[in-house]
Structure 1
């Protein structure tokens, strides 16, 4: 495995050398430079297909791990985003996209302007290789790949890499009524304020993620319809509704579907937006012989409804200041019967609820430098929502401060300092491998777009 990692790192460095030798800094964005250097811009110019890459690496330390724990992986948990200490290849992404000419970017936003009158099609495809791919896998899809069939304890000890395909979907736009966009396949539902991955336009100011982010579904498999239903002086209003298999699942064994959807409002100048997003559906496993954890850790003979709701928004006050915030609520039903089993706590599961709030303020010092401060609170009294990163029962709090410095069109640096504290029962200590209630974490992340 070590030899494979060295070879992979060598390939990445060779690719970056090609990019730096051939890129035209004045005319081209960093994204897609490698592909254009090797194959030209014909695919993008003539067919609207873009091919780009993102390398996401970080160095992290916290004040709670022992030397032996730092040598193994995941010693930052329950903090996610970069969960290993030391140098971590968080992810190496390959994106292949053909965007739609439509009134709505599915999962993201309604768009201003006139309604296109032509039928259009597109697609999105993403490959994610690295440590973070372990948490981006979909049950019944990329989780079954041979390189992903690893013993969890050994993978943690050896800091093994995984391969995920979190987006593989076709898109279609039909110019009927206000215009309707469709997406079908496996895709990230874009629920919550933060959405993966760390592309340049993502609303992720930090390498580490909120606890709300952990509680929300990462991928879904199904069909999503999106439409801009209003475009006027009061702004833009878009609606989305989808039917999917379940949380992070292509092969849901309970034979029930889940509903996901959103209401998305944008101001006319696009400087303010508010989103309400939800996912609702039965998420229990029907059989002890096919437990699909971690997407579901509940086994029951009848349907056990799971729901997640997120209300989030963002506002640009002026050229310097902006702010985003989120409220999240979730609930997993449990009827309390002896046949309803939580795989961690046993029979008689009678339900779990969780909620959280987080907010981030950003000050743009100059075009290439921004400072952000984030505060968050997440209550998980049954220790259910953050599984498998933690099962601690109580309330998590965190304060994170950091900057983003865009050194050039390829490289961005994001150093951050984060302090977490936890309140729960005396036996609940989620940090330092079960020893501590607080943790101070320092991290420097490098994002390389090519």
Structure 2
């Protein structure tokens, strides 16, 4: 197959599988080592503020793009995670956090243990620079920064870098009743099984993401309240609810808010969890003077309801085997009137529906080496929710396999092999710039924590 060095990838995977069995059993995390080495440990020790960084780079190729497309960038589309072929600086992250002391990590999980009795205040901030920062920008927040105001075609051709602030929020714990964690600001909603970025604790086994990941909002702006309602023999149960401006939106352009929330259950040993997460609300643009596409590609003078739901979970079978899975469903309403316009397909938009399912199984050879296999199916019969990566109408399918090798406390390698195929509703061909209905891709990602 064109340009895909499958044999070379196989050699890499084999080498990782048989690497010296006397490697260090427990690798101490390298997050924050650079900051502490320069500025010391006073900030973290005395104030509980941590500063760390993550460099996420990869080299990838697929068998469907031609030479000029690889040179122009985004030739892996509609595959996301790393969208350029060749060597890509996906993202360089800076994280600054002050954790609150409570029984709930907002957007993530309720925790076991006793309830905290004291007020606690903190914050979270993230800076993202690189190719992927283009897709993490928020309307009314960082999208209009000078570095981001680039011509789209030229930015693709030149493989330009972007700058975003995906998380910039204040946090607090209020010990009344069961205890409440509050988060206010710009934040990633963590809606779905995979959540950005690729920090060590994230449940992202691969550099490339699922189609379900693309269908979910990247950022929201508003207030989120979390609480652990039960902690006992039947498990740990938490609930979250929030009011936000909309999908990737700080500047409200339709005078309607969206509601997001979650129900989260864990076993007492935290070896099994199930989450139901959702975001609902009118997401149309009121006029063409302020179109926030692609997350809101409908323009209408009346409200057009949009909803996204995710049911996902994870289970640890034993010390080596674990599995995660997700089912997603979404719908964008449309009244079919001439005044309700899809900016891609024109007036008379009458709605779109999408759904998907994916699962990943992981085998932990050693503390520093794991293997994963992921399968997925995603149905987008209206070619709506995966835009702008693709507007193809039909069913997307993929199988991905690869390894994670923690070389040391600072560096991890993640080689992967991915095969995608598409069942069209009519004539669409989403791969190879509209020429093909399947693709084979290889990627080697390097994660540097410092």
Indicate whether the TM-score tops 0.5. Answer: yes
| Pairing 1:66-215 to 2, within 5 Å after superposition | 66-215=66-215
CA deviations 1:86-131 (Å, max 9, x no partner) are: 0000000000000110010000000100011100001000000000
* Deviation (angstroms), 1:427: 2.4
CA deviations 1:368-426 (Å, max 9, x no partner) are: 00000000000000000101111000000000000000000000000000000001145
SS, match of residue 213 in structure 2: helix
CA deviations 1:244-280 (Å, max 9, x no partner) are: 0000100121010000000000000000000000000
CA distance in 2, matches of 1:308, 1:36: 41
CA distance in 2, matches of 1:230, 1:246: 30
Q: Is the contact between residue 193 and residue 312 of structure 2 (CA under 8 Å) also seen in structure 1?
A: yes
CA deviations 1:141-187 (Å, max 9, x no partner) are: 11010000000000000000000100000000000111000000000
CA distance in 2, matches of 1:70, 1:288: 34
Partner of 1:278: 278
CA distance in 2, matches of 1:255, 1:90: 35
CA distance in 1, matches of 2:244, 2:292: 16
Worse overlay, 257-266 or 285-294? 285-294
CA deviations 1:324-343 (Å, max 9, x no partner) are: 00000000000000100000
RCO comparison, higher one (Cα < 8 Å, 6+): 2
* Deviation (angstroms), 1:29: 2.9
CA distance in 1, matches of 2:205, 2:140: 32
**Alignment CA distance shift 1:258-1:362 (3 Å):** same
Q: Is the contact between residue 27 and residue 368 of structure 2 (CA under 8 Å) also seen in structure 1?
A: no
CA distance in 2, matches of 1:243, 1:54: 30
Normalising by structure 2, we get a TM-score of 0.94
Partner of 2:219: 219
Aligned residues: 426
Q: Is the contact between residue 284 and residue 299 of structure 2 (CA under 8 Å) also seen in structure 1?
A: yes
| Pairing 1:225-244 to 2, within 5 Å after superposition | 225-244=225-244
CA distance in 1, matches of 2:273, 2:340: 41
SS, match of residue 43 in structure 2: helix
Q: Is the contact between residue 82 and residue 88 of structure 2 (CA under 8 Å) also seen in structure 1?
A: yes
CA distance in 1, matches of 2:448, 2:207: 13
SS, match of residue 143 in structure 2: helix
SS, match of residue 142 in structure 1: coil
Partner of 2:255: 255
Q: Is the contact between residue 236 and residue 266 of structure 1 (CA under 8 Å) also seen in structure 2?
A: yes
CA deviations 1:283-333 (Å, max 9, x no partner) are: 000012211111211011110000000000000000000000000000000
CA distance in 1, matches of 2:292, 2:51: 34
Partner of 1:362: 362
CA distance in 2, matches of 1:46, 1:234: 37
Partner of 1:405: 405
Q: Is the contact between residue 381 and residue 425 of structure 2 (CA under 8 Å) also seen in structure 1?
A: no
CA distance in 2, matches of 1:68, 1:359: 35
Question: Aligned-residue CA RMSD in angstroms?
Answer: 1.1
CA deviations 1:28-66 (Å, max 9, x no partner) are: 630000000100000000000000000000000000000
Q: Is the contact between residue 52 and residue 96 of structure 2 (CA under 8 Å) also seen in structure 1?
A: yes
CA distance in 2, matches of 1:217, 1:167: 13
CA distance in 1, matches of 2:336, 2:417: 42
SS, match of residue 275 in structure 2: strand
CA distance in 2, matches of 1:138, 1:267: 36
SS, match of residue 212 in structure 1: helix
Partner of 1:321: 321
CA distance in 1, matches of 2:299, 2:353: 17
CA distance in 1, matches of 2:341, 2:335: 10
Partner of 1:345: 345
Q: Which runs of 5+ in 1 are unaligned?
A: 1-25
SS, match of residue 147 in structure 1: helix
SS, match of residue 90 in structure 2: strand
Q: Is the contact between residue 264 and residue 276 of structure 2 (CA under 8 Å) also seen in structure 1?
A: yes
CA distance in 2, matches of 1:291, 1:192: 26
Q: Is the contact between residue 139 and residue 295 of structure 1 (CA under 8 Å) also seen in structure 2?
A: no
CA deviations 1:190-220 (Å, max 9, x no partner) are: 0000000000000000000000000001100
Partner of 2:12: none
Q: Is the contact between residue 180 and residue 227 of structure 2 (CA under 8 Å) also seen in structure 1?
A: yes
Worse overlay, 285-294 or 43-52? 285-294
Q: Which runs of 4+ in 1 moved over 4 A?
A: none
CA distance in 1, matches of 2:379, 2:252: 28
